[in-house]
Amino acid sequence: MTASAGSLVGDDAARRVHGFSKGADVVLLGTPGPTPGSAMEASLPDVETSLAELGLPAPLARLAGAPTDQLTWLAEALERGDAVPLVVAAPDLHISHVALLDLLDRPGVRTAALVADPHALAEGDELAGRARVGRDGKQLESVGTAHHTVTRPDRALPGVLRVAPQDRAGAARALRAAAPLADTSWGEDGVAAATLVLVRAGLVVQASALGPFDWSRGGVRAEGAAGGPWRQRLRGASRGGDGFFSTYAVRPVSRRITGFGLAHGWSPNVVTMVSLGLGVLAALFVATGAWWAWVVAAVVLLVALAVDCVDGEIARFTRRFSPLGAFLDAVGDRVKEYAVLAAVASVAVREGAPGWPVALAAMTAVTVRHLEDYAYEARLRPSRLSRPDLLPADAPYDRGPQDARTTFGPPPSRRAQAVHWTKKVVHMPIAERYLLISLTLLTRRPMLVLWALFVAVVVAVLWTQGGRVAAVLLRRDPTWSAVVPATTRGELDEQLDLGPLARLVGRLSGRAARPPFVLGLAGAAVLVVVVSLLLWTDHTGTALVAAAVGSALVAVGWQPPVHDRLGWQAPAALWVAEALAVGLLVHHTLGAQTAAGFAYVAAVAYHRYDVVYRLRDTGTAPAAWLATAGLGTEGRILGLLLLATFAPSAVVPVLWVAAVLLAVLYLAESATGWRRWIAAQGDPMPTGAGA
């Protein structure tokens, strides 16, 4: 079925089929459905037509009959070879080929089943195939048939399964073993039965989420977003999980820009650079100090935010993902935010207000929020891993609680949605921060801009930190039991950024008995509280001694691998200690109104973000020598306090030099590390693989 020109989105290149399932074997498994009765069924192509639109060959077989026969025949089809994927589809499914792109034509998809949001079902939810996906959203954990019950089902099964070439032999063995166990009680949904067998046999079956598309099958009908399939794909290109302002204000605008960009051949990385340029332009307008320029800057900053969403939407729409894009996006967001804060602070200082310390405080608070979030998410990851129910194929129940629901849960109530969005706003994600900055820019009061951002982010940190810490201290945290004790250096250790002095103290302390985590926590408290109070009261020499004691306690108590219920607090605590030491030293002890402290802390902040993004996106850490070259958190704090004690007049010049040197060091190592990782990935797109 050819879409009308009015319903298309993008140019031919944007809608191109890349060929990740090119030449796949196709099997239609199950009983063909009746002639389409509803208007939706009549408007949607059958699945065989849609597979042909993707360049897949005609089906090898149309297998109907008893479940035992279907599984046996499917095993035989899988055994025909292992050079290409095998696609299994329900013959009564009506769905556009556009809806199948993320399952059949996306890099990174191996063996996977198409899963849909049950809340999008307009009819027949009691007839839809049911499945449960792991909390990480990656794998199927349990699948239902007429004979098999799924506890807490959260996905509907439209009826398409892709078996990767490397999994065909294992899938065939599992199906042959299960075939004698199947009987007519399993029902007529052969795709669901085959998927269940693979999941229970331990084969990794990825959950390929169906976007907001129309589809129907038998008595089941799901309604997608407005418009034709390509319009629905554009709607689904928006990333989920955004904040309130992004979801309801920014994304509707960004999708319009994305549609234009797709029609004109824009690439995600170019869009990222344009967004970065707009953010810097907004900062330049702010730096002029003119009231009209601040109004323009407020608008340009929001435009930069909308454009910042476009790169990801283009990548998801076209299924062209560049590893370089993650690096550019990470750098761009931080540069834009820091540049605007610096511009506001410079105007405040020109007008006689203490802009730099407040800007430094705001930047510190934003970074604390992110470091705490990333470290906590890493802590939660083990508890969110998909854990498929490995059971005999004929077992009627999965491993869920006996009293658990076996039907789809209701959609969120209005109250639940209100609570959800309120929490999102309080957390101050990037769109809310940009909105707050833009609104306060309209007042042309630089200190209001800085203080408003600082207070809002501090409230967000207290909200998240308070709840999480309270859950741990009151033993109400159910996730810790899933965390396996670390035996080697891990993500948390990389985020601490401890240097050569800490490693030396750790070695001297010995490893016969592992020191308690609370020892390091006490050291961090000394660095954050005691050192700060001593600097505030102008006892720099005593602060140096206290910092040495605190650093030693941290080095002993937080030897890698760090493993504790409160472990996620460590990176943010050390970051606060360093930022406080710099801020108080420059702006209170020395009484200087200079950007040196801001520049220095910004360079260190970039490094901390880079470590997190590389761990999250590539699974690799910076080079081991970097912590030595950068002196580590403890080395930098002690070095600055030593300088302030014996040569206070040199602190500001040294901070400028250190800011430049650290920025060059961190950027160079970061670029090298990302480039090395990108080179190792190869080209994710097949060459000349148009289907």
By the 8 A CB rule, do 632 and 497 touch? yes
**DSSP 8-state assignment for residue 111:** S
**Locate tokens 């605007």: which residue?**
340
Q: Is the pLDDT of residue 691 over 80?
A: no
Average pLDDT over residues 182-194: 94
> Which pLDDT tens digit goes with each residue over 61-70?
888 889 999 9
pLDDT (average), residues 655-680:
91
Q: Would strands 160-163 and 112-115 be described as parallel, antiparallel, or unpaired? A: antiparallel
Could you give the percent of the chain with pLDDT greater than 70? 95
**Sign of CA pseudo-dihedral 295, 297, 298, 304:** positive
Average pLDDT over residues 40-52: 85
Residues 6+ apart with CB under 8 A from 416: none
Between 355-384 and 446-473, two packed helices, what is the crossing angle to 10 degrees? 30
Q: Is the pLDDT of residue 127 over 60?
A: yes
**In this structure, are strands 93-95 and 112-115 parallel, antiparallel, or unpaired?**
unpaired
> Shortest CA distance to 300 belongs to which of 268, 326, 336, 327?
336
pLDDT at 478: 76
Average pLDDT on 414-441 reads 93
Q: Residue 551 pLDDT > 80, yes or no?
A: yes
- Whether residue 379 has pLDDT greater than 90: no
* Selection from 655, 675, 471 nearest residue 578 by Cα: 655
Res. 507: pLDDT tops 70: yes
pLDDT at 678 over 60: yes
pLDDT at site 41: 62
Q: Mutual orientation of helices 323-350 and 268-288 as an angle, nearest 10°?
A: 0
Position 459, amino acid: V
Task: Give residue-wise pLDDT tens across range 248-303.
Answer: 999 999 999 999 999 999 999 899 999 999 999 999 999 999 999 999 999 999 99
Mean pLDDT of 101-106: 96
The dihedral through the CA atoms of 572, 496, 632, 550 has a sign that is positive
Peptide bond connecting 561 to the previous residue in cis, omega within 30 degrees of 0: yes
pLDDT of residue 685: 43
Is 48's pLDDT higher than 90? yes
pTM, whole model, 2 decimals? 0.91
Distance, in Å, from the CA atom of 560 to the CA atom of 489, rounded to the nearest integer, reads: 6
Token digits of residue 560: 């890698």
For residue 688, the model assigns a pLDDT of 32
pLDDT of residue 333: 85
- Counting residues of the chain whose pLDDT is more than 90, the rounded percentage is 74
Give the mean model confidence (pLDDT) for residues 336-344: 96
Token pair 């990222």: residue? 272
Residue 562, pLDDT above cutoff 80: yes
Instruction: Say whether pLDDT at 484 is over 60.
Output: yes
pLDDT score of 475: 81
Q: What number is the average pLDDT over the span 645-651?
A: 93
Given a contact cutoff of 8 angstroms between Cβ atoms, the answer to whether 205 and 113 are in contact is yes
In the three-class reduction of DSSP (H, G, I as helix; E, B as strand; rest coil), residue 207 is classed as strand
pLDDT at residue number 462: 93
Taking 90 as the threshold, does the pLDDT of residue 590 lie above it?
Answer: no
